[in-house]
C-alpha cells in the first residue's frame, strides 16, 4: 500500500481547494474517482501527477502513474504519428526507445501512423 497524504492543493497560491486529504493505494491498482461536480476529482488527480500549481503532496508512488481522461484528447487534424510525437515530447527521457515502441505497436495493431484520426 502507498499512503497518499495531500496536505493542501489548489490553483491559486494560498487558496487551497484540497486540504488534509489522505488515502492509500495498493500496488498495481486501477482506481476511479467518482463524485459530483466540484468534488475535487480532477484536482486530486493533478496533485498525484504533480501538475497542480500549488500543492503539497508527499508520496512514494512509482513514476509510472497513468491517467485516462473522461474525454479522449485527440485532434482530428493530427495524424497518429503527430499524436505520438506530442506524447513523446512529454516523456522525453528516452525518446528513441519510445518512438520505436510506438511504431512497433502501430505495426502490431495494423495502425497506419500517417493517417488522420478523424
Q: Using one digit for the tens of pLDDT, what is the confidence trace for 59-104?
A: 777 666 777 776 667 777 888 888 888 878 766 667 888 888 888 9
Is the pLDDT assigned to residue 2 strictly greater than 80?
Answer: no
| Cα 68 to Cα 53: distance, rounded to the nearest angstrom | 20
Grade residue 4 by pLDDT with cuts at 50, 70 and 90: confident
- pLDDT in the model for residue 43: 86
pLDDT digits over 29-63, tens only?
A: 888 888 888 888 888 888 888 778 788 887 777 66
DSSP 20: E
Contact 47/4 with Cβ under 8 angstroms? Answer: no
Quick one: 83 exposed, middle or buried, by C-beta within 10 A (0-12, 13-18, 19+)? middle
Average pLDDT over residues 105-117: 79
For the chain, the domains span 2-57, 72-118
Task: Please check the confidence at residue 117 and state whether its pLDDT lies above 70.
Answer: no
Work out the pLDDT band at 23, boundaries 50, 70, 90.
confident
Amino acid at each position: 500500500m502507498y499512503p497518499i497524504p495531500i496536505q493542501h492543493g489548489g490553483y491559486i497560491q494560498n487558496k487551497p481547494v484540497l486540504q488534509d486529504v489522505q488515502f492509500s493505494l495498493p500496488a498495481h491498482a486501477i482506481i476511479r474517482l467518482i463524485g459530483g461536480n466540484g468534488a475535487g476529482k480532477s484536482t486530486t488527480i493533478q496533485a498525484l501527477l504533480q501538475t497542480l500549481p500549488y500543492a503539497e503532496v508527499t508520496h512514494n508512488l512509482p513514476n509510472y502513474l497513468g491517467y485516462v481522461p473522461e474525454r479522449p484528447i485527440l485532434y482530428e487534424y493530427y495524424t497518429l504519428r503527430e499524436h505520438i510525437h506530442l506524447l513523446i515530447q512529454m516523456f522525453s527521457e528516452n525518446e528513441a526507445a519510445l518512438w520505436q515502441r510506438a511504431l512497433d505497436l502501430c505495426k502490431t495493431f495494423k495502425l497506419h501512423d500517417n493517417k488522420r484520426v478523424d
